[in-house]
Amino acid sequence: MERRSDNYEYPLFDDWTTAELMEVLEFFRNIERAYQDPRGVQREQLLQSYRNFQKINPAPADQHQLQRSFEARSGLDGFHLIKKARDCPELNWIKAK
């Protein structure tokens, strides 16, 4: 998938606290790291940020909406990264192809 732009806004909900906002941003940053960092992102770091993202957004519909919006804005797909991290516990680092 081709990256759309370096200048995009993160999808956010207005009712998040500052702490929740920081946790969600960390999840999106980890997706970015998987694409941009030469090593990718540490598997456990990605999974922990995803678990925090899920706690903040417990409704699967909200989770999917936020991830689809992030992908549409950034061109970065987080779905396959989470799947790879879950399916490959032997990996220490997750790198987007």
Residues 27, 25: Cα–Cα separation, whole Å:
5
pLDDT, one tens digit for every residue, the chain (97 residues): 444 456 788 998 899 999 999 999 999 999 999 999 999 999 999 999 999 999 999 999 999 999 999 999 999 999 999 999 999 999 999 999 8
Q: What is the pTM of this model?
A: 0.90
pLDDT at position 12 is 87
pLDDT at position 97 is 81
Q: Which two tokens stand for residue 4?
A: 């759309």
DSSP per-residue codes, 3-49? ---S--PPP--TT--HHHHHHHHHHHHHHHHHHHSSS-EEHHHHHHH
Catalogue all structural domains in the chain, each as residue range(s) with its CATH number: 18-94 (1.10.220.80)
Torsion of CA 73, 13, 78, 51, to 10 degrees: 170
pLDDT at position 1 is 45
